[in-house]
């Protein structure tokens, strides 16, 4: 049973077509890596999944709910889909603890003490329990991104979306974030990860996709994708990044 179904999803920005009919299915617990050149529509596609962007044609069904303009649906979906951004987007005026407990308290209406307990658990899981009372500005990039992961997890999402989570990080911090993500993948979370970290893709991905010019040009197992790509564009892309 697939948890996300996309059928022929199309999206225009003005006259420019960013997505030219994307179809895919993702099963529960699956880890999908999307890669592709810059501007190929990767971000746009995963942002459509939690409706940060609206697709104009085709349909997206997340956990049985079709994404439409109905506000109720959008809120349900957003509570089930966590997202981690390239630029972290932590709330700079709140402490790490407040960043993580904000949504559970205000959106899920949980008690403060339960939320804080859960937040500490998550901070332990991403390896920075000692940073709870600091402000994001006092943390390194890698720590901030791990807080962002904890913040998304605090809503108990069924699906996690990652949009180039390590692209804004210094090389020495990339590993700590990838480790947190690997741990998450192994715990059985459904994940869609836009990344160019090929090591990560090889190790944890169940499938790898290549986007180019708004289309999905290749879909494959990691081994096949890297060692034996079907598509010429994949070969070109791999030769450029490896």
Ligand X SMILES: Nc1ncnc2c1ncn2[C@@H]1O[C@H](COP(=O)(O)OP(=O)(O)O)[C@@H](O)[C@H]1O
Residue range at the interface with ligand X (CB under 6 A); choices 13-21, 91-99, 102-110, 166-174 = 13-21
Q: How many Å apart are CA 49 and CA 189, to the nearest integer?
A: 16
CB 238, min distance to other proteins, A: 30
CB 43, min distance to ligand X, A: 3
What single string gives the DSSP state of each residue in 19-31?
EEEEEEEEETT-E
Going residue by residue from 35 to 74, which x/- string records binding to Mg ion, judged by CB under 5 A? --------x-------------------------------
Among 31, 41, 161, 225, binds ligand X (CB under 6 A): 41
Task: Please state whether beta strands 190-194 and 159-163 pair in parallel, antiparallel, or not at all (unpaired).
Answer: parallel
Structure tokens at 35: 């890669």
CB 234, min distance to ligand X, A: 15
Q: Is 38 in the site for ligand X (CB under 6 A)?
A: yes
| Contact predicate 7/166, CB 8 Å | no
Q: Tell which phi-psi region holds residue 237, choosing left (phi > 0), alpha (psi between -120 and 50) or beta.
A: alpha
List alpha helices for the chain, DSSP H. Answer: 42-49, 71-80, 96-106, 112-125, 141-153, 171-186, 198-204, 222-227, 232-241
Q: Is 166 in the site for ligand X (CB under 6 A)?
A: no
CB 234, min distance to other proteins, A: 30
Q: Residue 148 in 3-state DSSP?
A: helix
The residues binding other proteins (CB under 8 A) are 50, 52, 75, 78-79, 81-83, 85, 87, 89-94, 102-103, 106-107, 109, 135-138, 151-152, 155
Residues that bind ligand X (CB under 6 A): 13, 16, 18, 36, 38-44
Residues that bind Mg ion (CB under 5 A): 43
């Amino acid at each position: 049973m697939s948890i996300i179904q996309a059928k022929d999803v199309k999206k225009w920005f003005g006259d420019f077509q960013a997505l030219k009919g994307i179809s895919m299915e993702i099963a529960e617990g699956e880890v999908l890596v999307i890669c592709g050149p810059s501007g190929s529509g990767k971000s746009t596609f995963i942002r459509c999944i939690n409706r940060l962007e609206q697709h104009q044609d085709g349909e997206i069904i997340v956990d049985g709910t079709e994404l439409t303009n109905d506000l109720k649906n959008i809120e349900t979906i957003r509570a089930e889909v966590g997202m981690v951004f390239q630029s972290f987007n932590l709330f700079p005026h709140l402490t790490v603890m407040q960043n993580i407990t904000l949504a559970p308290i205000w959106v899920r209406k949980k008690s403060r003490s339960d939320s804080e307990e859960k937040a500490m658990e998550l901070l332990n899981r991403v390896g920075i329990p000692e940073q709870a009372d600091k402000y994001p500005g006092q943390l390194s990039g890698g720590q901030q991104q791990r807080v962002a992961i904890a913040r998304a997890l605090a809503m108990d999402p069924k699906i996690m979306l990652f949009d180039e989570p390590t692209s804004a990080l210094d090389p020495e911090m990339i590993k700590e974030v990838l480790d947190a993500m690997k741990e998450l993948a192994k715990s059985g979370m459904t994940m869609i990860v836009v990344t160019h970290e090929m090591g990560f893709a090889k190790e944890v991905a169940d499938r790898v996709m290549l986007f180019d010019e708004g289309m999905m040009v290749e879909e494959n197992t990691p081994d096949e994708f890297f060692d034996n790509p079907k598509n010429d564009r994949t070969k070109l892309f791999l030769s450029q990044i490896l």
